[in-house]
Amino acid sequence: MASPNTDPTVLHCYRHPDRETMLRCSRCERPICSECAVLTPTGYRCRECIRGQQKAFDTSRWSDYPIAFILAGGLSFAGSYLAAMLGFFTIFIAPIAGLAVAEVVRWAVRKRRSMLLFRLAALGAALGAAPLLLINLIGFIVMLSAGGGLGGLLGLVWNGLYAFLVTSTAYYRLSGIQLR
């Protein structure tokens, strides 16, 4: 009687030789266990094939990074002035501003992409919204310490909401499809 370890039909994960498996990578056909398998629209793949595929989608140039960061920051800063004047309507304006930031960045870098590129654009959007938020925060703290009450709280809330919404909208719009 053959032992289970010597059966030639039993596959073992290429990364974990002690684990039996029935899965194979849909690209390279290597046996993979459930921990190593990544579900894609075309089947399960091993992590090495996923990394190789992601590198094919990284098309950005070195000059795209500062362009994306500076554009996102400048546009977000300009939008924060508009949002400060509109108060409640910031709820509607901020996602539109985030969409505009993402589309202008995408146009400026000619639709090239990388994982770092959209993160830098989102960081630029957050830092662009930060100056007015900090000014309102300092004004609010000064007003509170002088006994002025909670008069500046609403302006601080609208600027904080703008910063959050513009950053998250730009991030998710630029990130696109991600393979893990």
Tell whether 38 and 74 lie within a shared domain: no
Tell whether 34 and 100 lie within a shared domain: no
180 occurs within a structural domain: no
Tell whether 50 and 81 lie within a shared domain: no
pLDDT band, residue 40 (cuts 50/70/90): confident
179: enclosing H helix or E strand: none
Per the DSSP assignment, residues forming a β-bridge with 23 are 32
pTM, 2 dp: 0.69
Beta pairing class for 38-40 and 31-32: unpaired
Tell whether 85 and 166 lie within a shared domain: yes
Tell whether 128 and 160 lie within a shared domain: yes
pLDDT band, residue 79 (cuts 50/70/90): very high
- Token digits of residue 34: 């459930």
pLDDT in tens, 103-116: 999 999 998 888 89
Q: What's the confidence (pLDDT) of residue 180?
A: 40
Per the listing, tokens 């094939």 go with: 49
CA distance 60 to 111: 9
Q: Give backbone dihedrals phi and psi of 6, rounded to 5 degrees, phi first.
A: -105, 0
How many domains does the structure of the chain reveal?
A: 2
Range of the domain at 11: 4-57
DSSP class of 31: E
Tell whether 135 and 152 lie within a shared domain: yes
Q: Give backbone dihedrals phi and psi of 109, rounded to 5 degrees, phi first.
A: -95, 10
